[in-house]
Every structure is written in C-alpha cells, then in structure tokens.
Structure 1
Amino acid sequence: MTINPSNDSNHPQGHHARFLPGTIGALVAAGLALAAAPAMAVNWGAVDSETIVLFSPGQASFEWVMTQTDHSGAQRFREGRNCMYCHDGEQRDIGDLIVAAEGRGAHLEPKPMAAAGKPGTIDLDVQTAHDGDRLFFRLQWHEAVYDGEKMDPDYAARVTVMLDDGTVREATRAGCWGACHDDAMGMASDPSDADLTKYLFASRTGATRSGGGENYKPDAEIQDLFGKGMFLEYWQARLRHDNGPRAVEGYILEERHEREAQNVSAEAEYADGTWTVVLSRPLKAGDGQHKDLEPGKNYNIGFAVHNNYTDHRFHHVSLEYTLALDGGEASFIARQQ
C-alpha cells in the first residue's frame, strides 16, 4: 500500500543540520538567561486550568493510524474524522492497554512496562495566558517513578509543547501523530542503518506503510516549504531535580531541528513529587522558525511528557487540541493578564 504525502504546500528547511546553528558561548548564555524569564509575571491564580490526560502511545505511528488492518478507525480518519472525535474520553483505557501490551494495545508495545510500574497515563494540568507580548503555558503533573533503565540519564523529565497555525494538515487532524512515523527511531519499522527523527510527509517524494524513509525532496523544495510555514514548532523544558530547567526549541519538517532556546523561556519547580513548569515565547518571534500568534485565529497544540528518565517514544502524549487568544472556539483560550 502506498500512502501519498500531504499535498499541503507549507513547511521548513533543508535536511542536513539536526542542531540549529549557534556557538557554545551562545548556548551557555541562553541557559543562564532562563532564570530571568518573565513567566511568573502572570497571576496564575486568576487563570482557568484544565486537566487533560496524556497516554502512552507505544509504536502507534501515523501510518498505523491510516491502516485499516491495524487501526479499526482508519477509514473514518481517512473520511475526515480527527483522532479527538473518536477517542476523547478513551485515553485512560488506551494508555493502560498499550503500556501493558494487552487487548487492543498488544501489538503496539514490544517492551511493556506496566509490570515495572509505569502508568499508562499522566494527568497534565494546563493553564495558558498572554501579556500582550508573550504566550505562556503553565504545566503541572505528578512525577511517576517506576523501575526501569534510565534511557536519558541526564534529565529526570521533559515536557514539550508542539504548535502549528493550521498549515500542517496532519497536525490539525492528528496532533503530534502528524510527525510520528513508523520508521523513526524506536518505532516498528525503524531501519538499522538510519536514525530518523520526527518528520512530515510533505518533505518526502513518497511513503509506504513503513514510512517515508530517506526519500527526501530536493533541498530547494524543502526550503520552499519552510518559507511557506510548513513546519511544526516545539518548545521543551528538560528537567533535573537538582538544577534549573534547560529550555530548547525547534521545528519539524524533513527531520527534527533543535537548538538551545533563543525565544523560548522556561521556569520549573519540583515539590512534593509534582513538577510545575512555565514555558513562554514571544507572540511574534520574528525568526521564521515560529508561528506568529494573534487574536482571531485558532492554533493546533499538543503536549508530551517524558517521565522517569525516558526518551524517544517512551513518553505520554496528548490528542490534538486547539488554542486561541482572548476568545473564540478552542480547547484553550489564552487571555491577556
């Protein structure tokens, strides 16, 4: 079966630099600057909060989502139903089955971790606001500690926000699954001779049930997609119990491009087993690698938490949500404070 890449005509840049440019000195300076982030200027006591359920996805890729023999909802998805339409309210059942590799999750997790105590889901408390200059997310969750290898021994946890302005059709339909493919690292079709990161179909000349592989479009076409805004941006805070957060930012097109934070700021607190993290960035970053944010428009957002030193696909993720500034019809409304 062949899966046609997205026909959307908006995405980011070339496919050779996995870490965006920046000197070591600039990276250190960016890290030191995090402590001065303006996030706590928001009166969070006056901001509505909502708790959403993140769940363990196992090896459920975008290709899996679209394949009827693997995913019973594939036909409805192809006909236009979004993931949230069918699965909102089922996150706990899905996560528990996948992490235990039972029932519908039996073929999605070759390394079941329920016996080691890994939970199938995490409750994430989300607040969002803006101050006319910056957009803020305050994210809070209880740390899940369980037996298992420290896949990423440097960081006890990581929390990520992914954002798009509607340009990436897959993100509108499926959130972060739009960039999660069967041949990426740790996934079911992961090739032994390549370390593919997240990517978008728009960057490939073709794809199959196993993914798009290294069938990159020419650099000039990828640059054109990038210039038209065909990319997902993400913000991430990397967390240690004994030190301040490290903020990184990046975007996804033909691969994941990442750099130390230049526009994203992070603050974090760990107390009584609970992480509280505030991520923020300017509404208009002005660097071409972020989507400008303004009232009157909806944005697609997703969340992920890597808990207990996990890495790659061993995270908990959300379904697709929407964001608007000041008012409108969206999952989250960021009001000016």
Structure 2
Amino acid sequence: MQRTALSVLMVLAATPALALDWAGVPAKEVVLFYPGQSSLEWVLSGDHGGSGKVKSGKACKECHLGEEKDMGATLVSGSKNEPAVIPAKPAAITAGVKVAQEGGKLHVRLEFKEGAQPNSKMDPDFATKVTLMLDDGKLPEAAQAGCWGTCHEDAAKMPAGGGADRTKYLNRTRAKPGRQGAGDELVAAADLEKMQASGQLMEYWQARLKPGAAAQAAGGTIFDKRTEVKPSPVTAEASLAGDTWTVTLSRPLAASAPFKAIEAGKTYNVGFAIHAGHTARRFHYVSLEHSLMLDKGDADLIAVKK
C-alpha cells in the first residue's frame, strides 16, 4: 500500500501543465506585433508623435491598444524604423493567453499560429522562441512601456549598436543615458547592489522550440544586462498541432532570488515576445504591457486556481 500510494503521489507531482483542465480558464487575446528598431529612446524622442504623452506618464497601451496589427504592418514593411526587411514576414501574431495556478505554480499558456514565416537563418537551433517578461511593480518603466523598458538604441542590431554585442538592460543601471542609448558606463557599484537587493530588475521566462522536439526552458533577469540563471525554476511544455503552437511556461510562486515572489493581492506587469522563423535578437514580435494578478482583481490577466 505504501508503495502504491507513493507511486500515485509521484504521478500527481509530475502532471504536466499541458494536462491541466484549461477549458474553464478564460483566454485573453494578445496581439504581438513586429517592432523594428523602435527603441525606448525613440519612443521618448520627438520622432515619436506620442513622446510627450509618454513623458507625462501615459502608458503605451493607453494610445496603442487595438493598433498593434497596423503598427506591425508599417514596421515590417520597412517604411519606418526597419532597415533590414525580412521579405514576406507577417506583421503580427495573435495569441490566446490563459493563466492559472496549480500545485504552488503559476502557469502561463499561449496558443497561437505564427503564419507563413520565412526562415531568417539567424538561429539555427530553434525555429521559435516564446518569452514572458515580468516585473512586480518595482519598475515604473515596465508598467508604462512593458518590454520597451529594456530595449535601447545601442543594443545589438539597433541603430547605435554598431558592432556591439550589448543585450537588453535597464537605464537605471547606467551613468549616462542619452538619445543614442546609455553605453556601458554603470552607476556606482554600491548603487547597483542596492537596486538588486530591492528587486529592481526584470525577470524573464523562455521556451525554446523546434518541431518534433521537447521544449527547452530558460529563465533569468535583465538588469545591467540579460543574464540567464542556471539552474532555473522555469519549465516549459509545448505542442504543435497543424499550424498551431500551444506553449506553457511555468514557475513556482515562491522561488529563490533573483526570481520574484508571486503573491495574491499584488499587481505584476508582464510582456510577451515571440521569435518566429529562426530569428534572433530584435527580430521578434512583442506585446504592449499587460497586468497580472492572482485569484481576482482588475488586472488584464487573472491567474485562477485549479
């Protein structure tokens, strides 16, 4: 009897997120669009017609929610902010996003069709990558601009990136932010330590996919640079049925630093990105910022208990 009971517990503990009953979980439609070279600095500059509204504190989605497909069409065509057009690349991807809690974990499920993606040959290992970025309210730039809080003019493949291999970063870690990006000069080490200790960083979860193979998970942080944490508490599962991907990213609600505690009653800021067609770096689709809460609330996404 003890052996049988133990076997049952092991099976239950190993139940994959894809096996959850998602039928009763409401889905939110999230449109991810192609952003080109539209950096945070561009958003704040006079080249962006809404820069004054952003500087006054308006969030991106206050003006652009519902315009994602049109913006993606403009940018992917090369008529604006894109000098390296990928011919025939779709302008946007629409994902149905569901979030749930089960077994002390948060599960985030995206279902989407990526369309007829040309092979960019940038990433030979993974055809598709799905990423979630999460902030727990400590980064005002995340609440206002989502992923754009980490996207800069001088990152690799961006206008002022040159030959640099610079990744995403937070401006608050830099001594001299400017229109062309903030470069590599950091603020004082003591200030960096205080920021990190107080959780002023962005967390990311990623599923790396190729048809016919199990999803590979990665997780880490964005602070003065993007850093993958190993081992990571993030897990990923994926299935491809016809032309539809179903991808679930999961992580314990309680996780060791630098990962954030995810608790009821708090509002979290999340953004989504999808690399499709073997792309890498900035050649992805991104969402506007969205809010997330556990159990109940007025957030865009509510993680229900299963």
TM-score relative to the length of structure 2: 0.93
Runs of 5+ unmatched residues, structure 2:
1-13
Residue of structure 1 in register with 2:147 after alignment: 176
Q: 1:130 aligns with which of 96, 101, 113?
A: 101
- The runs of 4+ residues in structure 1 deviating greater than 4 Å are none
Identity over aligned pairs, percent: 44
Alpha-carbon distance between aligned partners in 2 of 1:217 and 1:274, rounded to the nearest angstrom: 45
Deviation at 1:270, TM superposition (A): 1.0
- Do 2:117 and 2:276's aligned partners in 1 also have CA atoms closer than 8 Å? no
Distance 1:132 1:167 in 2: 27
The one of 166, 178, 184 equivalent to 1:214 is: 184
Distance 1:308 1:127 in 2: 24
2:245 partner SS = strand
Distance 2:220 2:122 in 1: 22
**Does residue 1:90 correspond to 2:67, yes or no?**
yes
Match of 1:39 in 2: 17
User: For the residues of structure 2 that align with 1:297 and 1:273, how far apart are their CA atoms?
Assistant: 36
Structure-1 separation of matches of 2:261 and 2:272? 19
Specify which of 76, 80, 105 is matched with residue 53 of structure 2: 76
Q: What is the aligned length? A: 294
* Structure-2 residue corresponding to 1:10: none
1:197 aligned partner = 167
Q: Does 2:268 align with 1:299?
A: yes
Q: Which residue of 1 aligns with 2:4?
A: none
Q: Confirm whether residue 160 of structure 1 aligns to residue 137 of structure 2.
A: no
How far apart, in 1, do the equivalents of 2:243 and 2:102 lie? 30
Q: Which residue of 1 aligns with 2:85?
A: 112
Q: What's the counterpart of residue 35 of structure 2?
A: 57
Measured against aligned partners, the alpha-carbon deviations of 1:215-267 in whole angstroms (never above 9, x if no partner) come to: 11233321221111000000000001121111000000000001345211111
The alpha carbon displacement at 1:42 in A equals 2.4
TM-score where L is the length of structure 1:
0.84
Letter in 2 for 1:151: M
SS at match of 2:296: coil
Q: 1:60 and 1:225 mapped to 2: Cα distance?
A: 27
Cα displacement (A) at 1:135: 0.3
Residue 293 of structure 1 and its aligned partner are, at CA, apart by 0.9
- What's the CA shift for 1:41? 4.7
Pairing 1:312–2:281 present: yes
Q: Residue 256 of structure 1 aligns with which residue?
A: 226
**CA drift at 1:160:** 0.3
CA distance in 2, matches of 1:149, 1:82: 32
Mapped contact 1:237–1:248 kept (Cα < 8 A)? yes
> What SS does the aligned partner of 1:217 have?
coil
2:90/2:116 contact within 8 Å kept: no
CA distance in 1, matches of 2:70, 2:274: 18
Residues 41 and 239 of structure 1, relative CA distance in 2, 3 Å threshold: same
1:82: Cα distance to partner? 0.6
Indicate if the aligned counterparts of 1:247 and 1:261 stay in contact, CA closer than 8 A: no
1:97 is paired with a residue whose SS is helix
1:272-287, aligned counterparts within 5 Å? 272-285=242-255, 287=256
Say what the alpha-carbon RMSD is for the aligned residues. Answer: 1.5
| Uncovered stretches (5+) of structure 1, i.e. residues with no partner | 1-35
CA distance in 1, matches of 2:205, 2:100: 16
